[in-house]
Structure 1
């Protein structure tokens, strides 16, 4: 029997979070994932006009996965020529705790970055099997391969990925303690405090996309990472006042930064200087972030119960567009090179 519009919407809402989770894992982009899910719904809706789909969940998952594979294939060239490091778009905790509830620990930016080593079809098979626990027969139908071929693809994908780390993410309370220590050390310019909380194997990634100045290569080791972070604290926060909002980013502690309007004149002077130094005008994002209250940066951490294992800093404005603009009532934590002990 043909479903009504209300029934179609009910079914879609039932699987929407699962579909988004698959798409985000595949693409590493919030906006692209949402587009894929919406496109799949429209195609399913059009198909239902002709005949009733007996298994809408399988049909929708197939539509989303195949659209993601196509998008990844077209995006590979762009990512190969991407200026500097490419990082996934950060997934920010929303005010509605049920939103994105299907997402799990595999959402960490570190894990998604590792998946970039896989081809689109390898990524699809790996995720459907390892993260979403589909059996090989289901995966075969979704990706249009035989079950045996999917087994071989998964085996190949595992060879392309490094061994999973022996540490496991700590319960939420403990990473928050580590994050608090990390944040206070950064804001206070405390080199010794930073070295105490950074892992010996710490790695830092920054993504400016060629639009905002950022390190073009990963930074390794606690001393080098600490010096880079304190350089930001000394050279940026002494000039730019920032409202910082702690939040969860991809399931781990992190923060969002918004620029403060009362230092607009200083920013304009800084922009003018940067325009003279660099024809690409890397400071142009400042003005838009100020005027529209848009996020200026996102910092995500990977924490164990005692230390920070990875830091991912995203300042590419295009990857921050989906983050809600700053609410006028949300003052956040105002910093400007000023010590802020005990703020978290």
Structure 2
């Protein structure tokens, strides 16, 4: 007897919508589960649902908008810079390039500057390719209003959206060189790999010492990264497992016990690393499995940047 989920593809789409609306794996899973619970209740009560795809998209989007509003208030009290929870996976082969780019941490951070309706309208139309009429129905507006929401969001995203000009092979090669340089504290190699105006972002959430604000510039970023090597070496070192993080090159960072202590993602432009995102808040890594605390490894000098 088959135990396969008849809605497996629908669940994948529902999670993708919720995650890109919220930037949180746990919150996206909660929204998705609530949406499917309502679907099952409706079907159990004998109501006919003409299009489960449209029904779930509507429920997930509206639930995510409600969740986003409450999450927004919590994020205003967040310690340090807030970054989305990372995903260590590539988009599926069936997802187009726009979807892959929209998953990047840089774009998810950018989407935080939109209103909930703008974000929902933009994602549904530009990323998931829903027609304007369906987007309008999902978010509860008319088509003209929806077009304006999408247009405003599109302008804002295009103005600041990162552009990636590297093949997958180039990305893997550059990422490998970068993480090797970080592991060995190779300052000249780091300076060579980083863009002149590189930006580094860190999220410790008050649980782990991290950058208190974005760090900009080749020399400052290279110095901070190189300074981490001797601290980590005294604790036995860490292991960088190269992977895709939200569709971009990155690494999972494990301590000597095999506990995940950080996830790092890189944005690469014109042969240089343009942006570095480092998530070390254990609360944001729980969905990967066994998690450690990077602060325990560097407690001899918990904040080499001087920014708590």
Q: TM-score, normalised by structure 2?
A: 0.86
The question of 1:242 aligning with 2:238 is answered yes
Question: Residue 224 of structure 1 is aligned with which of 209, 220, 225?
Answer: 220
The CA distance in 1 between the partners of 2:119 and 2:161, in whole Å, is 19
Matched with 1:282 is none
Question: Residue 255 of structure 2 is aligned with which of 235, 255, 259?
Answer: 259
The CA distance in 1 between the partners of 2:95 and 2:40, in whole Å, is 24
Kept in 2: contact 1:205–1:313 (CA 8 A): yes
Q: Which moved more, 1:308-317 or 1:294-303?
A: 294-303
Highest CA radius of gyration, 1 or 2?
A: 1
Matched with 1:181 is 177
Kept in 1: contact 2:20–2:108 (CA 8 A): yes
The CA distance in 1 between the partners of 2:242 and 2:72, in whole Å, is 33
The question of 1:29 aligning with 2:11 is answered no
Matched with 2:280 is 315
The CA distance in 1 between the partners of 2:278 and 2:147, in whole Å, is 36
Matched with 2:57 is 61
Residue segments in structure 1 that go unaligned for 5+ positions in a row:
262-292, 327-344
The DSSP-based 3-state class of the residue aligned with 2:244 is strand
Matched with 1:41 is 36
The DSSP-based 3-state class of the residue aligned with 1:104 is helix
Aligned-CA RMSD value? 2.3
Matched with 1:17 is 12
Residue segments in structure 2 that go unaligned for 5+ positions in a row:
292-308
Q: Measure how far apart 1:142 and its partner are.
A: 0.5
Kept in 2: contact 1:203–1:219 (CA 8 A): yes
1:66-145 mapped onto 2 (5 Å cutoff) = 66-93=62-89, 104-145=100-141
The CA distance in 2 between the partners of 1:199 and 1:242, in whole Å, is 25
The DSSP-based 3-state class of the residue aligned with 2:48 is coil
Show CA shifts across 1:264-302 (max 9, x none).
xxxxxxxxxxxxxxxxxxxxxxxxxxxxx5411111111
The CA distance in 2 between the partners of 1:237 and 1:112, in whole Å, is 33
Give the direction of change, closer, same or farther, for the CA distance of 1:180–1:228 in structure 2 (3 Å limit): same
The DSSP-based 3-state class of the residue aligned with 1:237 is helix
The DSSP-based 3-state class of the residue aligned with 1:134 is coil
Q: Measure how far apart 1:128 and its partner are.
A: 1.1
Q: TM-score, normalised by structure 1?
A: 0.78
Kept in 2: contact 1:182–1:194 (CA 8 A): yes
The CA distance in 2 between the partners of 1:123 and 1:101, in whole Å, is 19
Matched with 1:299 is 264
